Structures are given as C-alpha cells and as structure tokens.
C-alpha cells in the first residue's frame, strides 16, 4: 500500500503539491496553510524540492509543519518532497534520510535531456518502480521531451496503475487533454495539484 492511499478521501479536497520559501516558493508554511483554509481545502502537502545533498534546513521545514499542525488542527498537513529523476536509470535525487522523514513522495522530470521516446519510457518505468513514489508530478514536463502517441499514453498509464502511482493533473503544467482523457478511460487515479509557489498560486484550487 502506498502512503497516498491513506488520504484517498482527500484527493478531491486536498492539494498534494505546494512549495514554500524553504526552496523556490515565496511564502511560509503558515501562510500557505492559512490560504488553504480560506480555500476550504482539507489537506495540504508540502512537497518541497529535495536533492541527495540538501541545500536548506530540512529539519526546520519539518518543525514548521509540526507547529502548523498544532495551529491548524482541522487541516491535514503533510510533509512531502518532490524529487527529480536524475538520469536514464530512473534514480531519484533524494536521500534515504529524507525518505524516512516525509510521507508523500512526488517524482518529476525537471530539465531532463530530450531523448528517443523508447528510452524515455524505460526511464519513466524504472522511476515508477521506486517503492516510495506516490505521485508522478506534472507529466507535461516529460511529454515535451519527445513525441508520444496515444498507444504510448496507454502503456504509461497502465504502468502507473500497476505501480499504484497517482498521476498529477497539474494546474501549473497542464497535461495534454488527450492524455487526461486516456487516464479517465483506463481508470487511473488523478490528483489535481496547484504546484503553488505562493499564496496567489494556491488560490487557483478554490474551485476544487
Ligand atoms: Zn516540479
Ligand atoms: Zn513542484
């Protein structure tokens, strides 16, 4: 069972992908929580950027989340991370230490080199095998790396279903509509996330 499955009842009313000023966001954990409450969200997951060697005070980030849980007991507040796929082997840019401390893991393609699509699909499938991955973040940044067909979409979606990985419907990097249609057709579980880097971005999920 993947960790996200514990929060299945919050898929419609939660945002599993937000950032703070600990990395490239501009608001604090508390400010983001306050906006989430104003939006009527039931869950917020701080999926902060990570690397194998961290460049900020991750323990401070976790203790801000602890503190926010005391302040906002009616909002479910999760600590997560967003790790990028490092290379064609599909390994993730995250340390074991961070994986032990966070609940939700998003794997994303960030500035990945373009390559023939068969190799890219193999890379994606290797990454999806990682037992801790909960969400494949913003698929659009993967799809821009090559030309994928509907048949490719189908095999990718089936792999996500088999690995129990949620597919992100990102408000920041929208997926091709035909991919989202295929997700629904094949019964994949989608989660709409803001990938908010500030409270203004988070306001977009009010209508969820
Ligand atoms: Zn990302
Ligand atoms: Zn992000």
- 185: CATH: 3.20.20.140
Pairwise CA distance, residues 183 & 67, whole Å: 37
From the CA of 125, how far away is ligand 1's center (Å)? 18
State the Cα angle at 41 between 132 and 100, rounded to 5°.
Answer: 20
Band the pLDDT of 206: cuts 50, 70, 90: low
From the CA of 184, how far away is ligand 1's center (Å)? 23
- Whether 6 maps to a domain, the answer reads no
From the CA of 51, how far away is ligand 2's center (Å)? 13
User: Residue 53 belongs to what domain range?
Assistant: 14-207
- Whether 144 maps to a domain, the answer reads yes
From the CA of 112, how far away is ligand 2's center (Å)? 15
Neighbours of 17 (CB within 10 A): 27
- Whether 5 maps to a domain, the answer reads no
- Whether 103 maps to a domain, the answer reads yes
Claim: this prediction has a pTM higher than 0.95: yes
From the CA of 82, how far away is ligand 2's center (Å)? 6
Q: In this predicted structure, what is the pLDDT of residue 204?
A: 79
pLDDT tens-digit map of 13-72: 999 999 999 999 999 999 999 999 999 999 999 999 999 999 899 999 999 999 999 999
Q: Tell me the CA distances in angstroms from 98 to 53, 101, 175, one per residue in order.
A: 10, 5, 28
From the CA of 141, which ligand is nearest?
1
Q: What percentage of the chain exceeds 90 in pLDDT?
A: 97
- Whether 198 maps to a domain, the answer reads yes
β-sheet bridge partners, residue 108: 84
What's the number of domains the chain is made of?
1
CA dihedral 51, 141, 197, 73 (to 10 degrees): -80
From the CA of 17, which ligand is nearest?
2
């Amino acid at each position: 069972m993947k960790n996200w499955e514990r929060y299945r009842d919050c898929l419609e009313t939660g945002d599993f992908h937000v950032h703070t000023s600990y990395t490239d966001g501009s608001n604090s954990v508390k400010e983001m929580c306050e906006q989430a409450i104003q939006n009527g969200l039931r869950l917020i997951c701080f999926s902060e950027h990570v690397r194998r060697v961290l460049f900020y005070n991750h323990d401070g980030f976790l203790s801000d989340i602890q503190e926010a849980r005391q302040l906002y007991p009616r909002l479910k507040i999760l600590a997560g991370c967003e790790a990028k796929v490092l290379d064609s082997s599909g390994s993730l840019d995250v340390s074991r230490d961070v994986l032990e401390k966070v609940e939700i893991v998003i794997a994303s393609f960030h500035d990945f080199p373009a390559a023939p699509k068969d190799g890219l699909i193999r890379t994606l499938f290797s990454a999806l095998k990682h037992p801790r991955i909960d969400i494949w973040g913003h698929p659009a940044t993967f799809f821009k790396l090559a030309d994928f067909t509907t048949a490719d979409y189908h095999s990718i979606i089936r792999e996500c279903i088999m690995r129990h990985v949620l597919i992100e419907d990102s408000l920041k990097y929208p997926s091709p509509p035909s991919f989202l249609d295929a997700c629904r057709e094949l019964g994949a579980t989608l989660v709409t996330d803001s990938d908010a880097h500030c409270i203004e971005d988070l306001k977009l999920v009010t209508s969820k």
